[in-house]
Chains A and B, each alone.
Chain A
């Protein structure tokens, strides 16, 4: 097992880091979709977050066949390979034991391994549709139900789904996009100082991973504390009616389809407030997470070149103006 790059050492990419932290605080938000080019640190960030999180009890991670587990295990991180078959994803009949010993046994798949952790899919847009459907379905229900080849197995599969993709290489169907809780767009910084810093840190990490990790230990511990505190506090964070109104009005103005947008907006604003140590969600939390939660839910007009982010920001401005006038 190779070491992971420290989460706090990632240069820039604040939006992606924020989305991942929110997902770590409240996994029910329903996954994060990351759009961006290759080599922008997408998988590095997800891996880093999984490595940062404290070990989880063994009975909440990995494949659970009902037998009791003891102790703790590291947070699972499963990288779904492109071209993975349904068998490998959901699990299948254990061929070897079926043919060799005549036993009907279940061989758990990647969903079982990701239980309690993260499932990362690079290039979701190139994944076959039926597998994406299946993944989103399991991610939403938290349970994997296998009914095939004479097997009937159900096991918990609660994980945070992180997808990444480059829209230039084929797009995701809107129906699927809507199922992701948050979406972020990552770009390589176009500023020389930042790029030099990235190169230096990558280089340092490759050459002396232990020493590099050591220098970031304090920052990492701080991040971890922040997540832990937020996790404990998130259930108690209240959402005032005025803020809820703002969220609903925003969704109506930008024309986000369905109720998922509003729910995600509220949940992620609550997680953000918890991360900030606030006991109550404020308008600024909504403003900060709105692009993340709504960007991918807007109905697209192919003839309109305006980016979704710009539309959300414009709507936020309009709402603020109206409130001032009122």
Chain B
């Protein structure tokens, strides 16, 4: 019955319930709705109906600037009137209501940070409804904001037909009136059960159980009770704790048995000697609600959610930093800086026409902003052959060389990505990152064995490089292989086809204009590998006996050439 992955009975109903809980207790922060298309409107409608009449709901576009978000000086009005005119920010406007953030996965870390700060200690209280349209597991709203929202609900598996009843029915909540969390008594049991469940699911943040407790209280309140019930606690565990799980606790054969303490705890055994059965019920509820992709992430050893390493350098022409490149007409704000001298110079010829007083009259059209140029950030993509033929002898050296290059990339602030190909296909082990800790871990976990799907490896490397290019980075591909392709692009084990596919993939890399180095790690260098390297216009580095350090030196040289 605790089969994880079948999800809650109805995520959309959960989402609507979560919206109501948020309306009752704004301290819950809000919710993230992943996928779901139009069904999210029903959730927002339910939230609107549950909030007091006239509560504002504002949308925040992903590209919003600080002035609009937090308020500031209204530059246009200030210039027109000649006196400072203040404008209110969207967050302040939403006080007592909610903000809706569409495309939350595209929200910049900076904007998310501002919203998080406003949730933490701002003057206005508002709920956040983050609409997450991400498709890839790594595409998620910035953690700084997500962490402060109680509910993460995945609607991707829902079909519109599942929306129960009409929206009107959904939108009519039990009116609870004015209410404060103090009115519901929190009992010892709820606190213990939620803390134990969070621990068992490997949730480290202290915010999660606090949210869960609040959600349980709000749920009791909706039901018109004054005491938290078992039902409220399981609901809170399902809605708040389950989506944050980073591990599945080991389960014992008999369902009655208490969950064994996680292996990495020591001490505190006396507290756990007689676990309350409530804990088991709550944990079971949370387990049943574990979303599928969480399980996949846990299985992949990447349970901990990490942000994309969104560094600087995504743009080449940057309005905010880098080498000065002159100015152009534009409105300052959002980090774009006014170039005062050029603004005055632009305003100067018009003074006679505009004048009257002795004061310089500057208009909106005169404003000049600075432009800068940044150097595109480098991304080194390693495509490592982990097949049986190369694994035996050379994989360890290849790993060593990659680690040395990683260490160097880390000092230079370049990004690194790692692709492994073995068996029947290629796998992206590490999306572009600057984190040495993550890179080293995924490298250490790299298993060896199986065939050599060289074509898949090359294609995966090229696709990743093209993606990096599209984001304004400069990719460099390093391929470490023995060049003995024996698995074709479609996964079949026909050597002839495999070799033809590899050559085609190599040519595609050349056509895409991607710089590459081809490291031949086979014990004896063979002409086929050299031909492949030539087909992709890569530098060919036969390194039959090289150790990690020599390999590192050779690749570095190739990269600089």
CB-based nearest A residue for B335? A85
Asked whether B262 is an interface residue with its Cβ less than 8 Å from the other chain, the reply is yes
* Contacting residues, chain B, for A126 (C-beta < 8 A): 109, 307, 310-311
* Per-residue B-contact encoding for A49-60, CB less than 8 Å = 1, 0 else: 000000000000
Q: How far is the CA of A47 from the CA of B340 in the complex (A)?
A: 38
| CB proximity to B under 8 Å, residues A53-74 | none
Give the residue of A81, A99, A130, A187 whose beta carbon is less than 8 angstroms from that of B204. A187
- Contact between chains at A102 and B110 (CB < 8 Å): no
Using C-beta atoms within 8 Å of the partner chain, give the interface range for chain B: 35 or more
- Contact between chains at A195 and B198 (CB < 8 Å): yes
Q: How far is the CA of A83 from the CA of B312 in the complex (A)?
A: 10
Asked whether A220 is an interface residue with its Cβ less than 8 Å from the other chain, the reply is no
Q: How far is the CB of A192 from chain B (nearest CB, A)?
A: 5
Asked whether A277 is an interface residue with its Cβ less than 8 Å from the other chain, the reply is no
Give the residue of A168, A196, A305 whose beta carbon is less than 8 angstroms from that of B438. A168
Asked whether B433 is an interface residue with its Cβ less than 8 Å from the other chain, the reply is yes
Asked whether B54 is an interface residue with its Cβ less than 8 Å from the other chain, the reply is no
Q: How far is the CA of A128 from the CA of B434 in the complex (A)?
A: 13
- Contact between chains at B435 and A190 (CB < 8 Å): no
- Contact between chains at B306 and A192 (CB < 8 Å): no
CB-based nearest B residue for A149? B340
Asked whether A41 is an interface residue with its Cβ less than 8 Å from the other chain, the reply is yes
Q: A40-B206, A193-B268 are in contact. Are A173 and B144 (CB under 8 A)?
A: no
Q: How far is the CB of A44 from chain B (nearest CB, A)?
A: 9
* Contacting residues, chain B, for A194 (C-beta < 8 A): 268
- Contact between chains at B272 and A123 (CB < 8 Å): no
Asked whether A199 is an interface residue with its Cβ less than 8 Å from the other chain, the reply is yes
Asked whether B53 is an interface residue with its Cβ less than 8 Å from the other chain, the reply is no
Asked whether A207 is an interface residue with its Cβ less than 8 Å from the other chain, the reply is yes
Binds B, one of A22-30, A90-98, A225-233, A248-256: A90-98
| CB proximity to A under 8 Å, residues B67-95 | 73, 75, 78-79, 82-84
- Contact between chains at B108 and A83 (CB < 8 Å): yes
Asked whether B195 is an interface residue with its Cβ less than 8 Å from the other chain, the reply is yes
Q: A196-B191, A302-B436 are in contact. Are A38 and B143 (CB under 8 A)?
A: yes
Q: How far is the CB of A2 from chain B (nearest CB, A)?
A: 6
- Contact between chains at A82 and B110 (CB < 8 Å): yes
Q: How far is the CA of A150 from the CA of B73 in the complex (A)?
A: 22
Q: How far is the CA of A82 from the CA of B117 in the complex (A)?
A: 10
Q: How far is the CB of B180 from chain A (nearest CB, A)?
A: 8
Q: How far is the CB of A88 from chain B (nearest CB, A)?
A: 9
The interface centre, meaning the residue of B113, B117, B362, B407 with most chain A CB atoms within 10 A of its CB, is: B113
| CB proximity to B under 8 Å, residues A168-184 | 168-171, 173-174
* Contacting residues, chain B, for A187 (C-beta < 8 A): 204
Q: A95-B73, A99-B79, A190-B262 are in contact. Are A202 and B210 (CB under 8 A)?
A: yes
Asked whether A141 is an interface residue with its Cβ less than 8 Å from the other chain, the reply is no
* Per-residue A-contact encoding for B357-384, CB less than 8 Å = 1, 0 else: 0011010000000000000000000000
- Contact between chains at B208 and A96 (CB < 8 Å): no
* Contacting residues, chain A, for B320 (C-beta < 8 A): 85
CB-based nearest B residue for A39? B205
* Per-residue A-contact encoding for B207-229, CB less than 8 Å = 1, 0 else: 11110011000000000000000
Asked whether A206 is an interface residue with its Cβ less than 8 Å from the other chain, the reply is yes
* Chain B binding surface SS class: helix
* Contacting residues, chain A, for B427 (C-beta < 8 A): none
- Contact between chains at B204 and A39 (CB < 8 Å): yes
Asked whether A87 is an interface residue with its Cβ less than 8 Å from the other chain, the reply is yes
Q: How far is the CA of A82 from the CA of B142 in the complex (A)?
A: 12
* Contacting residues, chain A, for B192 (C-beta < 8 A): 196
Q: How many A-B residue pairs have CB under 8 A?
A: 169
- Contact between chains at B205 and A100 (CB < 8 Å): no
* Contacting residues, chain A, for B337 (C-beta < 8 A): 85, 87
Q: How far is the CA of A81 from the CA of B145 in the complex (A)?
A: 13
Asked whether B559 is an interface residue with its Cβ less than 8 Å from the other chain, the reply is no
* Per-residue A-contact encoding for B256-277, CB less than 8 Å = 1, 0 else: 0000001011011001100000
* Contacting residues, chain B, for A150 (C-beta < 8 A): 340
Asked whether B338 is an interface residue with its Cβ less than 8 Å from the other chain, the reply is yes
CB-based nearest B residue for A197? B195
- Contact between chains at B83 and A39 (CB < 8 Å): no
* Contacting residues, chain A, for B214 (C-beta < 8 A): 206
Asked whether A79 is an interface residue with its Cβ less than 8 Å from the other chain, the reply is yes
Asked whether B131 is an interface residue with its Cβ less than 8 Å from the other chain, the reply is no
* Contacting residues, chain A, for B407 (C-beta < 8 A): 300, 302
Q: A82-B113, A87-B337, A100-B84 are in contact. Are A206 and B210 (CB under 8 A)?
A: yes
* Contacting residues, chain A, for B438 (C-beta < 8 A): 168
- Contact between chains at B181 and A207 (CB < 8 Å): yes
Q: How far is the CB of B240 from chain A (nearest CB, A)?
A: 12
Q: How far is the CA of A191 from the CA of B404 in the complex (A)?
A: 38
> Would you list the 5 A-B pairs with minimal beta carbon distance, nearest first?
A83-B110, A39-B205, A82-B113, A188-B204, A302-B407
- Some 14 contacts from A to B, beta carbons below 8 A apart, are A38-B143, A40-B206, A79-B117, A81-B114, A82-B144, A95-B75, A100-B82, A171-B410, A188-B206, A192-B271, A192-B272, A199-B195, A199-B213, A203-B213
Known: A81-B117, A199-B206, A199-B210. 17 other contacts (CB 8 A): A2-B121, A37-B205, A37-B304, A83-B108, A84-B110, A85-B335, A100-B82, A126-B307, A126-B310, A167-B437, A168-B304, A168-B438, A170-B434, A170-B435, A171-B434, A198-B206, A206-B27
B-to-A contact residues, CB < 8 Å: 27, 73, 75, 78-79, 82-84, 108-114, 117, 120-121, 143-144, 147, 181-182, 186, 191-192, 194-196, 198-199, 204-210, 213-214, 262, 264-265, 267-268, 271-272, 304, 306-307, 309-312, 320-321, 332, 335, 337-338, 340, 359-360, 362, 400, 403-404, 406-407, 410-411, 413, 433-438, 440
